[in-house]
């Protein structure tokens, strides 16, 4: 049997029989004919079912001998992921291989390998190790006593979690094993790579993420597979890195939503890392200052070992959190609330005078989220999506952040001709402009997706902040995570209220994590920690989330949230799957989901009525979803496995009825609603 990438939604799971001239080890890469094409496949198991008459089988065209066979653990992991996330084995297996392997034939791969230079292995002494803090030492002692299994490393920002990863990795390496480290953000890999490279001179460290060139990615992947790479550092895709001698898996910032793949096979790299650790009997460290509530609950139940780093390295205090009640501002009729409350502005001015930096966080890029005509009520909607187009002042465009549709800003209202169309609300571009006016002479910087589109722009902007060339940094969540800004002593969330009352039940969890992370950017240098402050401007100062934040009390927040989730029957106390459908019209998507919902299900399975997704129409495509729920993960899994073939059959049986149905897919353990 060979795993090949069969067309999406074909009922074939992607395992096909081929004739082999000789016995091939499972995990061997081959080129085989599929229809009229020649494709790469993975020998899955040597003993096919053998019912097919031999003459009907097509022979394997090439064996990619130059590539070592994928280890059994890799196939087990891929097999599990395919079953769990309801995808074809072939589809998943091929989607997690380096793209070059899907493209090149045996000769080309051999040429590539011959050309790729072996990494230098000039061994040298590691730079001086800092003595561990008491908490770090205690955490490592527990880790050393654990042969395998998941470990939650709950450490406040700046508590030295990375040092714990480094020491644990050193032990794995000393034992002749490989260490795998996952990070959520591609932007954080160079930083961490540098830290690991400095700690392990002479060791081979490779990265795996989507920004590598195809040739680099192939080379790094092969070094991992050949056992030559000692350390593999990467984003979620790296959870599938084939390693012949795994010794440790680390998932940094395990709560981060970017561990969930949001297209194709919608897997959670964090969850797969835990599964992989069990499979390969190695420890898995899940590190975070604000663990996901799923992980926290498992630690509470004793299924994960919990290690705590409660204090910052060097004894620095966590920043004081100041919640500013916007209702206290004097109201002038018709006037808009100021961007910055006067005491916050004063606090920023103090920082500037002392040569310290401030960060203003606003999770909305562009100048204003919508343009509006006061005369007739026109708003800058996107003609292709159920969303507003965002006003970008720098190039005077209206841009849809969902489909990308961009136009020049009209001179006058397209409906009534009123020349006085005005921006409503505020994005980072406007905030930057307003701050510049409020703080004349201050050096303002901005980091968001718009200012960092060009290659190297992000690095340049971050370098300017680190060099002290910026007094006030305006940014989206891009800058809230991970960065070690040594001169920053004030962080302010300018307007986080929207997320306090969002409809997604995970919104509070995400907001709390973001604000804790952002607070963690302030006062990281122990010498300045005393002046570290986090400001929150809000119209809802008594919200319990903010009360927990003021106390830096993740445990209280998690306990309250989990009690609420338990009472409401939400994850992690129930298990969810979404059936998503995209169609040319909402009626067709709904018809398909209605039919899917009408298929029989046991009482352990609850199905809800199909509803439009939060942005229902994107690029002219209508999107609806059907929520499926069960108290038992096993029951849900079993039922989904039977349901999917019926969905394929449903569509095949009435091609006419579902003519405008473009795509459908199941999302197991969905994150966004």
Selected binder of Zn ion within 1, 70, 282, 385 (CB under 5 A): 385
User: What order do you get walking across the sheet with 320-325 strand by strand?
Assistant: 320-325, 533-538, 488-493, 357-361, 472-475, 444-447
CA dihedral for 17, 22, 26, 28, sign (positive or negative): negative
User: Least CB distance from residue 621 to Zn ion, whole Å?
Assistant: 10
Q: Per-residue b/e over 327-363, b at no fewer than 16 CB within 10 Å?
A: eeeeeeeeeeeebbbeebbebbbebbeeebbbbbbbb
| Distance, CA of 112 to CA of 223 (rounded, Å) | 13
Closest CA to 97 of 46, 150, 39: 39
Closest CA to 492 of 474, 508, 468: 474
Q: Which is nearer to ligand ADP, 231 or 313 (CB)?
A: 313
Q: Which is nearer to ligand ADP, 158 or 234 (CB)?
A: 158
User: Least CB distance from residue 250 to ligand ADP, whole Å?
Assistant: 11
User: Least CB distance from residue 525 to ligand ADP, whole Å?
Assistant: 9
Q: Is 668 a residue that touches Zn ion (CB under 5 A)?
A: no
Question: From residue 408 to residue 427, what is the string marking binding to Zn ion with x (rule CB under 5 A)?
Answer: -----x-xx-x---------
Closest CA to 509 of 478, 549, 453, 466: 549
Q: Is 171 a residue that touches Zn ion (CB under 5 A)?
A: no
Phi, psi of 498 (to 5 degrees): -50, -40
- From ligand ADP, Zn ion, none, interface partner of 385 (C-beta below 5 to 8 A by class): Zn ion
Dihedral angle of Cα 49, 50, 56, 62, to the nearest 10 degrees: 80
Instruction: For residue 228, give Cα distances in angstroms to 11, 143, 179, 222, 223.
Output: 39, 25, 12, 8, 5
Q: Which is nearer to ligand ADP, 159 or 357 (CB)?
A: 159
| Distance, CA of 68 to CA of 23 (rounded, Å) | 15
Q: Which stretch binds Zn ion (CB under 5 A): 68-76, 260-268, 277-285, 402-410?
A: 402-410
Residues forming the site for ligand ADP (CB under 6 A): 130-133, 136, 155, 157-163, 313, 484
Q: Is 405 a residue that touches Zn ion (CB under 5 A)?
A: yes
Tell me the residue length of the chain.
Answer: 673
Q: Which is nearer to ligand ADP, 313 or 368 (CB)?
A: 313
C-beta of residue 357 within 8 angstroms of C-beta of residue 470: yes
Q: Which stretch binds Zn ion (CB under 5 A): 326-334, 375-383, 526-534, 548-556?
A: 375-383
C-beta of residue 363 within 8 angstroms of C-beta of residue 426: no
The size of the interface with Zn ion (CB under 5 A), counted in residues, is 15
- From ligand ADP, Zn ion, none, interface partner of 416 (C-beta below 5 to 8 A by class): Zn ion
C-beta of residue 21 within 8 angstroms of C-beta of residue 60: yes
The neighbour count for residue 144, using CB atoms within 10 Å, is: 12
User: Least CB distance from residue 110 to Zn ion, whole Å?
Assistant: 46
User: Least CB distance from residue 166 to ligand ADP, whole Å?
Assistant: 8
Q: Which is nearer to ligand ADP, 163 or 450 (CB)?
A: 163
C-beta of residue 251 within 8 angstroms of C-beta of residue 218: no
- From ligand ADP, Zn ion, none, interface partner of 291 (C-beta below 5 to 8 A by class): none
Helix (H/G/I), strand (E/B), else coil: 22: coil
Q: Which is nearer to ligand ADP, 158 or 427 (CB)?
A: 158
Q: Which is nearer to Zn ion, 464 or 615 (CB)?
A: 615
Q: Which is nearer to ligand ADP, 318 or 640 (CB)?
A: 318
User: Least CB distance from residue 400 to Zn ion, whole Å?
Assistant: 3
- From Zn ion, ligand ADP, none, interface partner of 376 (C-beta below 5 to 8 A by class): Zn ion
Q: Is 375 a residue that touches Zn ion (CB under 5 A)?
A: yes
- From Zn ion, ligand ADP, none, interface partner of 400 (C-beta below 5 to 8 A by class): Zn ion
Binding site for Zn ion (CB under 5 A): 373, 375-376, 378, 382, 384-385, 400, 402-403, 405, 413, 415-416, 418
């Amino acid at each position: 049997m060979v795993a090949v990438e069969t067309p999406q939604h074909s009922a074939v799971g992607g395992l096909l029989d081929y004739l082999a001239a000789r016995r091939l080890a499972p995990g061997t890469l081959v080129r085989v004919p599929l229809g009229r094409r020649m494709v790469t496949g993975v020998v899955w198991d040597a003993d096919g079912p053998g019912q097919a008459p031999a003459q009907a089988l097509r022979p394997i065209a090439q064996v990619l001998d130059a590539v070592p066979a994928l280890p059994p653990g890799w196939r087990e992991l891929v097999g599990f992921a395919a079953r769990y996330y309801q995808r074809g084995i072939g589809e998943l297996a091929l989607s997690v291989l380096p793209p070059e392997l899907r493209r090149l034939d045996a000769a080309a791969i051999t040429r590539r390998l011959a050309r790729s230079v072996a990494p230098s292995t000039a061994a040298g002494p590691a730079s001086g190790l800092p003595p561990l803090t008491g908490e770090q030492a205690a955490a490592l002692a527990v880790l050393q006593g654990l042969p395998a299994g998941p470990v939650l490393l709950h450490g406040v920002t700046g508590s030295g979690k990375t040092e714990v990863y480094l020491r644990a990795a050193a032990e794995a390496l000393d034992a002749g094993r490989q260490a795998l480290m996952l990070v959520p953000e591609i932007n954080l890999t160079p930083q961490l790579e540098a830290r690991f490279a400095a700690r392990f001179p002479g060791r081979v460290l490779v990265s795996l993420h989507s920004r590598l060139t195809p040739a680099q990615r192939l080379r790094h992947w092969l070094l991992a597979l050949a056992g030559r790479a000692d350390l593999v550092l990467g984003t979620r895709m790296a959870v599938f890195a084939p390693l012949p001698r795994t010794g440790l898996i680390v998932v940094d910032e395990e709560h981060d939503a970017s561990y969930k793949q949001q297209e194709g096979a919608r897997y959670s790299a964090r969850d797969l890392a835990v599964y992989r650790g069990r499979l390969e009997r190695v420890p898995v460290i899940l590190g975070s200052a604000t663990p996901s509530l799923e992980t926290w609950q498992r630690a509470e139940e004793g299924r994960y070992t919990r290690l705590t780093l409660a204090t910052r390295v060097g004894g620095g205090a966590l920043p004081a959190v100041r919640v500013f009640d916007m209702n206290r501002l004097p109201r002038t009729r018709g006037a808009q609330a100021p961007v910055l409350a006067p005491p916050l502005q004063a606090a920023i001015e103090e920082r500037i005078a002392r040569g310290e930096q401030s960060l203003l966080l606003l999770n909305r890029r562009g100048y204003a989220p919508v343009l509006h005509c006061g005369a007739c009520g026109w708003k800058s909607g996107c003609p292709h999506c159920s969303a507003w187009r965002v006003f970008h002042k720098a190039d005077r465009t209206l841009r849809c952040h969902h489909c990308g549709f961009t136009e020049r800003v009209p001179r006058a209202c397209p409906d009534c001709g009123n020349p006085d169309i005005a921006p409503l609300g505020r994005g980072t571009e406007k905030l930057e402009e307003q701050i510049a006016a409020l703080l004349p002479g201050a050096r303002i910087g901005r980091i968001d997706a718009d200012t960092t589109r060009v290659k190297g722009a992000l690095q340049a902007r971050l370098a300017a902040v680190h060099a002290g060339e910026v007094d006030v940094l305006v940014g989206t969540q891009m800058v809230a995570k991970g960065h070690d800004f040594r001169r920053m002593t004030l962080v302010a969330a300018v307007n986080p209220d929207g997320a306090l009352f969002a409809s997604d039940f995970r919104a509070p969890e995400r907001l709390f994590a973001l604000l804790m992370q952002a607070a963690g950017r302030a006062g990281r240098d122990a010498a300045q920690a005393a002046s570290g402050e986090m400001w929150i401007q809000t119209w809802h100062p008594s919200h319990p989330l903010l009360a927990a934040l003021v106390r830096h009390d993740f445990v209280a927040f998690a306990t309250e949230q989990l009690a609420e989730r338990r009472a409401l029957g939400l994850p992690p106390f129930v298990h969810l799957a979404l059936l998503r459908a995209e169609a040319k019209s909402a009626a067709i998507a709904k018809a398909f989901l209605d039919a899917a919902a009408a298929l029989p299900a046991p009482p352990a399975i609850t199905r809800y009525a199909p509803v439009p997704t939060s942005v229902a129409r994107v690029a002219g495509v209508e999107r609806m979803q059907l929520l499926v729920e069960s108290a038992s993960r096993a029951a849900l899994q079993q039922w989904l496995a039977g349901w999917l073939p019926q969905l394929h059959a449903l569509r095949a049986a009435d091609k006419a009825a579902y003519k405008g149905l473009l795509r459908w897919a199941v999302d197991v353990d969905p994150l966004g609603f």
